[in-house]
């Protein structure tokens, strides 16, 4: 591998590392809000999950993914993973 190739690879990887850090911070911020939702649901005896909202969010994210040239099936899997974690938090807020 040439020095030029290595430098380019390092530069690209540094960008990936920055994006990964941003993703973690955005997810942490998102979970701050979903935990607030969970507390409200627990206080008002609402169910931990909201299938209609989840369905709307999945459809919305699939559209955003298509617009961003990202595989919508991947976006849906990602959101389903997040939703499962949110529901777990909401269920634990009830106890």
User: Which residue segments constitute the domains of the chain, with CATH numbers given?
Assistant: 3-93 (1.20.59.10)
pLDDT tens digit string along 72-93?
999 999 999 999 999 988 888 7
Query: Given a cut of 80, is residue 52 above it in pLDDT?
Result: yes
pLDDT at 16: 98
**Cα end-to-end span (Å), the chain:** 57
Report helix, strand and coil shares of the chain as percent, to nearest 5.
Answer: 85, 0, 15
* pTM for the model: 0.82
Query: Given a cut of 90, is residue 55 above it in pLDDT?
Result: yes
Report the distance separating Cα 49 and Cα 72, nearest Å.
22
Which residue, chain included where needed, has tokens 């974690």?
85
Task: Check: CB of residue 31 under 8 Å from CB of residue 81.
Answer: no
Percent of the chain with pLDDT over 90: 91
Residue 5 DSSP one-character state: H
């Amino acid at each position: 591998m040439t020095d030029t190739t290595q430098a380019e690879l390092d530069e690209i990887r540094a960008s990936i590392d920055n994006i990964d850090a941003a993703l973690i911070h955005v997810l942490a911020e998102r979970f701050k809000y979903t935990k607030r939702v969970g507390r409200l649901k627990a206080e008002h005896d609402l169910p931990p999950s909201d299938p209609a909202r989840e369905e709307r969010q999945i459809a919305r994210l699939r559209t955003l993914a298509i617009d961003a040239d990202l595989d919508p099936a991947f976006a849906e899997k990602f959101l389903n993973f997040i939703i499962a974690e949110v529901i777990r938090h909401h269920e634990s807020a009830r106890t």
